[in-house]
Structure 1
Amino acid sequence: MTSIGRTRARGVETLSLDATGSRNALSAALVGELSDALAECAGDSAVRAVVLTHSGNTFCAGADLRDPPEPDALVRLLRQIVELPQPVVARVTGHVRAGGLGLLAACDIAAASHDATFAFTEVRIGLAPAVISLPVIPRADPRALARLCLTGERFDAAEAVRTGLLTAAGDDVDAVLEPVLDGLRRSAPEALAATKRLLTTRVLEAFDRDAAERVALSARLFSTSQAREGTTAFLERRDPAWVL
């Protein structure tokens, strides 16, 4: 059963995360399926832009703790979004946690409804936003990001816009995106690709410089006793032992 829904309308390919049973958590299988779909879009000249969205009330719950992807596989997926020739637009109407924020940051444009919520929850289970920091840090306000990543607290769409993690938010996310998609459809494909390359230079520099170190950090943290306690506590719906 596929975890990625696909539709196309007037040159815009919509890819939907459809693993609602796991709250669209990034499993090894989901990461692979999304990567395959993006590769097909990259090679299709009829695709002018890609919208990344979701089914259910969660855009992405982060890594699937029962079947997590290899850190280097997640790096490849995030870089694939950044390097895709076509603009990638995130459309969010639900919750975004941990690795889901990496997907948002990798996209060129991200919009959400006002009732969406966000959180970098890694520290609360003994981990760090290591791999997703590659696209997140170049996009977001450093001071705001420090608070959000160090505390793991939940924040709303208005704060996500203020910090640079979202482009825009509104009561109706489709109304917010209507002029965006219209603008992309009116733009020359080669010019879009060239402009995207200009705009993603700093993000790709972070991948080139830091990806190996972030993969190693992610692997090391996953093997610690605190991460084992944190993930077990999360799955058992209790506080980990270090909570005071």
Structure 2
Amino acid sequence: MTSLVHQDLAGGVATITLDSPPNRNALSVRLLGELADRLGWALAEPEARVIVLTATGTVFCSGADIKEQRASEGRPGAPVTASFPEVLELLWESPKPVICRLNGTARAGGLGLVAACDFAIAPLTASFAFTEVRLGVAPAMISVPVLRRLGARAAAEYFLTGEVFDAARAAEIGLLSKAVPEEELDATVARYARMLMKGGPEALAITKRLVREVPGVSFQEGLRRMTELSAERFTSEEGQEGIAAYMEKRPPKWVPPQV
């Protein structure tokens, strides 16, 4: 049976590719299971410093596999090896930076994948929509990562109307990190990956957490906790190596030779 999700490792970058173009990379039970497996591999692989999530075809992800869901109504289906919430959590909680390289359009649940990644880069030709309300359902699970990216006004506008919007608008409201001409997509993703591999692996994981956690604590508590963290990082083995490398005008040991 042909895999619906592929994996590749090159130059410190683990690339995970959705490959189910006949149904526009819809989130079927099988695709979600394979995606969870590939993410587990990338997280456990010591040589993988950055994860890139992408897809084949002209659509990144069309959302839930509605045909599969309808076919299984009222009948026991195949066991779910990985639920959509588990996949979203793997992306969101990954200690390694995750870049979403959108090869094209995304809809509904596909935007949950986009929002759960640290960076999202798409071609200007891509379009997006939260189509759930037009089917009489709600963008429930994906609201957890998406509402951490969008402001309240933008979320209300597109969640409630289901309107299609372009990549430039997606970048403007925070759903994307960048919208670029299609011919610049790969170079932009590669540039982000190179920049990320210059950061210490421990420092990147900790910085990911503080970006999310610090805004939720009081000013005084934030200062107290961050003072402790700062002292800890300056005296850590990774911090000491980074400072020594800076003083000696050389790359730190964690930077791959090709970066």
TM range, smaller chain: 0.7 to 0.9
Range 16-25 or range 171-180, more displaced: 171-180
- Percent identical across equivalent pairs? 46
Q: Which runs of 5+ in 1 are unaligned?
A: 205-244
SS in structure 1 at match of 2:210: helix
Q: How high is the TM-score relative to the length of structure 1?
A: 0.79
CA distance in 1, matches of 2:215, 2:41: 23
Give the C-alpha shift of residue 14 in structure 1. Answer: 0.6
Structure 1 position 202, deviation (Å): 8.2
Deviations 1:111-156 (A, max 9, x none): 0010011000111111110000000001112101111111111100
SS at the partner of 1:112? strand
Higher relative contact order (CA 8 A, sep 6+): 1
Following superposition of structure 1 onto structure 2, how do residues 18-167 of structure 1 map, counting pairs within 5 Å?
A: 18-68=19-69, 73-167=83-177
Q: Report the alpha carbon displacement of residue 27 of structure 1 after superposing the two structures with TM.
A: 0.5
Please, what is the CA RMSD of the aligned residues?
A: 2.1
Structure 2: runs of 5+ lacking an equivalent? 70-78, 217-259
Give 1:183 deviation, angstroms: 0.5
User: Following the alignment from structure 1 to structure 2, what is the Cα–Cα distance between the partners of residues 38 and 89?
Assistant: 13
Is contact 2:6-2:38 (8 Å) kept? no
TM-score of the superposed pair, with normalisation by structure 2: 0.75
User: What are the Cα deviations for residues 1-48 of structure 1, in whole angstroms up to 9, with x where unaligned?
Assistant: 210122222100110100111100001111111001111111111110
1:67, distance to aligned residue in structure 2 (A) = 2.4
CA drift of 1:176 comes to: 2.2
Matched residues in 2 for 1:164 and 1:122: separation?
20
CA distance in 1, matches of 2:176, 2:214: 18
Q: Matched residue pairs, number?
A: 204
In structure 1, how many angstroms separate the alpha carbons of the residues matched to 2:24 and 2:97?
25
- TM-aligned CA deviation for residue 100 of structure 1: 0.4
Q: Deviations over 1:67-111 (max 9, x none)?
A: 2497x8111110110111211100012110000000000000000
Q: Given residue 195 of structure 1, which amino acid in structure 2 is its aligned partner?
A: T
Quick check: which has more Rg, 1 or 2?
A: 2
